[in-house]
Amino acid sequence: MKESYHLCFTSHDEVMFRDAEDHGMFVNLMALRAFATDTELLADAEMSTHFHAVVFAEAPMLFASALRMSYTKYFNHKYDRVGRMGQKYTFSLKIVGFNHQMAAMSYVLRNGLHHGAAPTALGYPYCAVRELFAKDVGCSSEKAIMLSRADIAAYLPRYSEFPDHWQMNESGVFTRQSFMEIRRAEQYYGTARNYLYQMNRLTDESWKQEQLQDNTGQPVTLSMLEKADEKSVAQMLNNEHGRNFRHSGLQDLDVCRLIDNDLLPSLGVPSVYLLTDNQRQRISRLLWAEFRLPEHQIRRCLGF
């Protein structure tokens, strides 16, 4: 019997995505592994250093481990990297109750806002937030194009199996409308108006009180799903106000593009994982001098 779970795996010290192609491949692999393990995806968010999802599955860890292994294989091959990506374990939390489910999905879909990657939840592109109530909200970033099954297969690992009705966008990425349970996710919110309210409301005590109505256990909270300390959670809650978001600030993806497209070619090195210690230090000093980037961001973008 399928049940609902929140899943998360992390890579705190190293970015998981260096460009848009990486994000696209992750989505494709997520779709393929969900199909292979009979997992229903309701919400997802791919952040620089971690991945969140809410799923209905009989074996959620089978899906998570298959996705993680296949993406690591892709990433390692592309960037001449070796070894496991990120922390060893995947976090799994069983979700029981209508309000618990909506809270867990909302936290996942608002992840870009919480981590300061966008000024609003709907402003973050690498998640399903724009696909719920896409017709009413009008901000879907996905547009399917007509491709043959052979054309679609050309973007995927060899021998990939997928349903005939799945579609891709012009970048060769499966549309979430094709493989995710978007309509089922929408049922928890009921209307587009309530969905927008949930995406924009501030996290307060009412989130917990609503979940207590389910009588199914401890309320889902931001600190529970993020496994973060009080200081980090406080910053996430502050980001909900949107007052401190800087459009000029460099996100991890921006820094990786700068390193990979501008700095590595000047050194004649194809990947950050092939840099010598001296070359890493040289790039670190340059990034700090030019952009005043924090040390932890420089280190994770350089694969220290």
Tell me: do 32 and 175 sit in the same domain.
yes
Q: Give tens-digit pLDDT for 221-236.
A: 998 898 888 888 999 9
Summarize the confidence of residues 157-182 as an average pLDDT: 96
List Cα–Cα distances, 184 to 66, 69, 94, 127, 203, in angstroms.
24, 28, 18, 16, 24
State which amino acid sits at residue 30. Answer: M
Are 148 and 19 in the same domain? yes
Q: Give domain status of residue 244, yes or no.
A: no
Residue 246 lies in a domain: no
Looking at residue 194, its pLDDT comes to 97
Q: Which domain holds residue 118?
A: 3-239
| Tens digits of residue pLDDT in 15-43 | 999 999 999 999 999 999 999 999 999 99
Residues 284 and 183 in one domain: no
pLDDT tens for residues 54-102?
Answer: 999 999 999 999 999 999 999 999 999 999 999 989 999 999 999 999 9
Q: Does pLDDT of 251 surpass 80?
A: yes
Domain count, the chain: 2
- For residues 235 and 263, membership in a common domain is answered with no
pLDDT digits (tens, 9 = 90+) for 104-143: 999 999 999 999 999 999 999 999 999 999 999 888 778 9
Inter-residue contact 120 to 247 (CB < 8 Å): no
Write out the H or E segment, with its range, that includes residue 92: strand 91-95
**Which pLDDT does position 57 carry in this prediction?**
98
Distances (CA, A) of 21 to 30, 45, 116, 200: 14, 16, 22, 29
Q: What is the mean pLDDT of the chain?
A: 94
CATH number at residue 146: 3.30.70.1290
| pLDDT exceeds 70 at position 248 | no
Q: Are residues 149 and 101 in the same domain?
A: yes
100-104, 243-247, 272-276: lowest mean pLDDT where?
Answer: 243-247
Q: Are residues 41 and 171 in the same domain?
A: yes
Pair 175, 222 in one domain: yes
* 217 or 34, greater pLDDT: 34
Same domain flag for 293 and 164: no
Q: Which of 217, 239, 261 marks a domain boundary?
A: 239
